[in-house]
Amino acid sequence: MQARGEQIPTLKPRLPDADALLPYLRRIDSTRQYTNWGPLALEFEARIATLLGCDAEAVVSASSGTAALVGAMLAIAGRPAAGASAVVPAFTFVATALAAEQAGYRPRFVDVAPDSWALDPHGLDSDGRGPGDLVVPVAPFGRAVEQAGWSTFREQTGCPVVVDGGASFESLTENPGRFVGEIPIALSFHATKSFSAAEGGCVVTTDAMLARRVREALNFGFYDARNCVRPSTNGKLSEYHAAVGLASADAWAATRADLRRVAAGYVRRMTAAGLGARMHVMPTVAGCYALYVCGDAVEAVALVRSLTDAAIETRAWYGEGLHRHTWYASQPHRPLPVTEDLAARLVALPVAPDLDDEAIDRVVGAIVRAAAVR
């Protein structure tokens, strides 16, 4: 229950409590295996595979979503020649570009499509890719990336593709036939995601040999011998995080239902206020997001002020675009009008599985007040 006047955070995750974790922790005590893809990590992979409708071998767990992305890049393309680029959308969280750098690529920022907020495989035919380059489509706010278009792109261009699936676990479970395939998808199970292991991730691919290379890439290049056979890192999921992930899987149906209730509460109230078309909640984005699209940057500033005055936290999840980060400010890029427009107009609203009706009313009230000023 949200007390009147109490600060409402943008996101308040709810992970399994101590009682839910205890049976799994006792199993760790019994086996005394704490990492290196122990029995809980392998069971967690199998649970994820079941939810995605694929074989257990198609899922390789990782210590974080970023590690999963690095492992997938190294597995599919190896360490590139000097100067090779990873084509990434400018409209994404900075981990996408940092993972590309860790895998040996120079990030190259391109704009996204205005409707999908994602890279368009049909729009990359003349972007100046060089030999050895990689393309990294991103699932913006958990909007899953379809395999079909990128499979065609890969076949026509010969360019390797790795999907940064981020928070798209929910979408993948809803329609795995559309979103799961040979092209590897790196998922994040960070505490901010709807489905969480507190910290962790995985790579999903139906290409069994590629999945094996991912496992090698996340394990010092080892597979069945202590012999490094490829560029690699240490990115394995610990048994403790696997325990959190398994307990989260136990509670997943209830968590998803709670997030759907929150999304429906927003839609109902915003529609009544005549602003329903401005809202993006699940299933169009992941359940951990509630996004409001302002008409312009001036309106967004006014909305943030209204929310702040009402003790409601907000944030720009993707900042102002990757090209605005200090680390990447000197990186050359083509004009990025869609990224800059979206970054200026999207405002994140509070989400939590137990966000109550009173809190949602407070948020919607602040939005309506800001709209009335306009």
Superfamily designation of domain 252-373: Aspartate Aminotransferase, domain 1 (3.90.1150.10)
Average the pLDDT over 197-216 and give the result.
98
Angle, helices 239-250/39-52, rounded to nearest 10 degrees: 40
Residue 201 · residue 189 · CB < 8 Å: yes
Q: What is the pLDDT of residue 130?
A: 63
pLDDT tens, position by position, 138-180: 999 999 999 999 999 999 999 999 999 999 999 999 999 999 9
DSSP per-residue string spanning 35-77: SSS-HHHHHHHHHHHHHHTS-GGGEEEESSHHHHHHHHHHHHH
Q: What is the pLDDT of residue 304?
A: 97
The pLDDT confidence band at residue 131, using thresholds 50, 70 and 90, is low
The pLDDT confidence band at residue 1, using thresholds 50, 70 and 90, is very low
Cis peptide before 89 (omega within 30 of 0): no
DSSP 325: S
Question: Taking all residues of the chain, what is their mean pLDDT, rounded to a whole number?
Answer: 95
The pLDDT confidence band at residue 127, using thresholds 50, 70 and 90, is low
Q: Which two tokens stand for residue 327?
A: 């680390």
pLDDT beyond 70 at 346: yes
| Strand bridging mode 185-188 / 163-166 | parallel
Q: What is the pLDDT of residue 371?
A: 87
Average the pLDDT over 6-26 and give the result.
97
Q: What is the pLDDT of residue 2?
A: 45
pLDDT tens, position by position, 211-234: 999 999 999 999 999 999 999 999
Residue 88 · residue 140 · CB < 8 Å: no
Q: What is the pLDDT of residue 129?
A: 63
Residue 39 · residue 24 · CB < 8 Å: no
Average the pLDDT over 343-356 and give the result.
98
Lowest mean pLDDT among 62-76, 115-129, 282-296: 115-129
Average the pLDDT over 118-132 and give the result.
75
Residue 217 · residue 211 · CB < 8 Å: no
Average the pLDDT over 82-94 and give the result.
94
Q: Which two tokens stand for residue 241?
A: 């995080």
Average the pLDDT over 320-335 and give the result.
95
The pLDDT confidence band at residue 81, using thresholds 50, 70 and 90, is confident
Domain 18-250, architecture per CATH: 3-Layer(aba) Sandwich (3.40)
What is the percent of the chain with per-residue pLDDT over 90, rounded to a whole number? 92
Question: Could you state, in order of their start, the residue ranges of all structural domains in the chain?
Answer: 18-250, 252-373
